Chains A and B, each alone.
Chain A
Amino acid sequence: MTAPGVDDAVRAKEPATERRLHPVTPLRRAWAPVAVVIGWAMHDPGQAQQQMTRLTTTTLLVALAVLVPAASLYGFLTWWFTHFAVTETELRIRTGLLFRRTAHIRLERIQAVDVTQPLLARVAGVAKLKLDVVGTDKKDELSFLGEREARELRAELLARAAGFAPETAHEVGEAPVRELLRTPARDLAISVLLTGATWCSLAAALVVPPLLWLATHSVWTVLATGVPLLGAAGASSAGRFVGEYDWTVGESPDGLRIDHGLLDRTHETVPPGRVQTVRIVEPLLWRRRGWVRVELDVAGSSNSVLVPVAPRAVAESVVARVLPGVTVPPAEALSRPPGRAGRCLPVWWRGYGIAVTDTVFAARHGLLRRSLALVPHAKVQSVRLAQGPWKRLWRLADVHVDTGADKTVTARLRDAREAAELLRGQAERSRTGRRDARPDRWMAP
């Protein structure tokens, strides 16, 4: 880091200290050639088996003698040529042995910071750090860093992104976290059991392979369909439970903290004002228990779950913390489309409803699995009104509200006059909603 007490102009020119990743990293990279071999064997099992029988001990040893050093050399070189540095305004990642690549990630544009620890990384005491910025790709993650180093780096990046003076950014340290919600394992297990998709995929995995066996009597066909089906069933039941185990949502001056996972731990931080949309989803089977699931959209982030399962009141209080000043409009406050909407979409039109408060645009859809999407006015990128010939006949129109996370929230089947008013009004609100939005650097004076 730059030395404190140097004046700004000098510091700007001084190159930032470059660092390397954790020395464990080459081991991970060294897996690449092995993975290629395994991938080839999986891709063409018959030929692989044929080749295997032809292998003698000597050739195997020779192959190993070539492969292992080559793999370690590759791992070592990629590690040696990967550097990163934190400057005043950006994080720079320099990679590449033959093809050099430098990623400059602007700190005030950070949408979220993730620290993830796969199971093996937890054993080795290392972690991955990923910055979600609009337009970054998979390569722009720092894997691996020491566990403590990753946490410190996250704190420093967030402090710099928040606009703390560079001299103090290093010493600000981790912001204190106040826990908002922790999902009990029992609730999570019940919620997984009460999800239709879990049972559908399980049933498919149990029914389809025997049927295929009866039809074709080919082991390969059965395996080729059965394994992915079983995998999907596992991912949607046990996988979901393991991934969402011990889901904790916390609040800190750095923003929202989301920690979860039984085997792989993930710690996500979403700085204030980065949430583009929030969806409150209520599956049919959860309704009796009054549970909901809350999803959120952050531009450039892959995670979309905020709360996997919680009673409605708790979930709404979390939403109120995530989107300050927002109250979730109750079901009675939502206005339904006019009755003639049934001519365009029988039965299901009853599931639609919208509400516009002074802070959010809310639209609900779904009859059995209800989903209420909230968009803060300040996050609206554009508003569109669309009307087809059949809708014109019934004087109906749809209003689409586009947000920066590439999600569109739609108020369907509104009365045409109301839709036109909504279009004008929403454009106006989205413009004025900006005025009291917090700046990108949320701690800047």
Chain B
Amino acid sequence: METGSPQNAGTTGTAGDGPAEPVWTGLPPGLLRMRRLLLVVWLGLLALALGLLLGLLVGPGWAAFALLPLALTAWGWVLLGRNWRSWRYAERADDLLISRGVLWREETVVPYGRMQLVEVTSGPVERHFGLASVQLHTAAAATDATIPGLDPAEAERLRDRLTELGEARSAGL
């Protein structure tokens, strides 16, 4: 099911007090493939349009500006890869951990008992690539716990498991 790279990497901090090291799960490569494809398509189109317009209207030398979006593509390619690798989640006995971000790192812990609603969403592009994202809502709007780019089957399994655990440990506000 998990086509990604389920790695048993250690935690970011020193979690000596935790009962057990969380088992991290990465995202499947589908999301990375989709994002890179979108990047290449859009920036490629931009480079083409820029090159043609500048080359025809101003002068052939100016067409070199089309290299700019291409450089951006290369940079974005690396960036997307790093960002994709940084996303991971762990289902622990009582809470869900989500860790993400390379430069701006963020780690979220949501106890199962606090979940009000678990949503599986999938836009048209995501559907085409066979991806779905799971979003968790608690009573606090600030809680932003989303896991993007999951395999639909895995997303549904996660949703069902979270709902089940949430019901078992449910509490009000």
Chain A residues packing against B (C-beta within 8 Å): 108-109, 111, 134, 274, 276, 299, 379-389, 392, 400, 402-404, 406, 408, 416-417, 419-421, 423-427, 430-431, 434, 437, 440
Contacts and interface: CB of A to CB of B under 8 A. Distances in A.
B13 A419 contact: yes
Contacts of B12: 420
A430 B14 contact: no
Task: Give the most central of B94, B95, B145, B172: most A CB within 10 Å.
Answer: B172
A385 B101 CA distance: 11
Interface in B39-87: none
A427 B143 CA distance: 13
B106 A430 contact: no
Contacts of A425: 17
A402 B109 CA distance: 10
Interface stretch (B23-31, B134-142, B156-164): B134-142
Contact of A437 (B140, B143, B171): B171
Interface size class of B (residues with CB under 8 A): 20 to 34
Given A420-B14, A420-B15, A381 B105 contact: no
B105 A386 contact: yes
Interface of B is mostly: loop
Contact of A406 (B18, B107, B109, B141): B141
Nearest to A425: B17
B171 A420 contact: no
Contacts of A420: 11-15
A357 B144 CA distance: 26
A421 B14 contact: yes
Interface of B: 11-15, 17-18, 94-95, 103-111, 113-114, 138-143, 145, 169, 171-173
A26 B33 CA distance: 64
B172 A423 contact: no
Given A134-B173, A406-B142, A423-B109, A382 B114 contact: yes
Nearest to B11: A420
Contacts of B172: 108-109, 440
Contacts of B114: 380-382, 430
Nearest to A398: B106
Interface of A is mostly: mixed
A440 B145 CA distance: 26
Given A384-B108, A427-B109, A421 B17 contact: yes
A408 B142 contact: yes
A132 B113 CA distance: 23
Contacts of A424: 13, 15, 17-18, 109
B140 A383 contact: no
B139 A384 contact: no
B173 to A, nearest CB: 4
17 contacts: A380-B111, A381-B140, A382-B114, A382-B143, A384-B107, A386-B106, A387-B104, A392-B103, A404-B140, A406-B140, A408-B140, A416-B13, A420-B15, A421-B13, A424-B18, A434-B171, A440-B172
A408 B140 CA distance: 8
A304 B76 CA distance: 46
Nearest to B12: A420
Given A402-B138, A406-B140, 18 more contacts: A134-B139, A134-B173, A381-B114, A381-B138, A382-B108, A386-B104, A402-B142, A402-B143, A403-B140, A404-B138, A404-B139, A404-B173, A421-B17, A424-B109, A431-B111, A431-B113, A437-B171, A440-B172
Contacts of A431: 94-95, 111, 113, 169
A420 B107 CA distance: 9
Contact of A384 (B11, B18, B106): B106
A419 B139 CA distance: 24
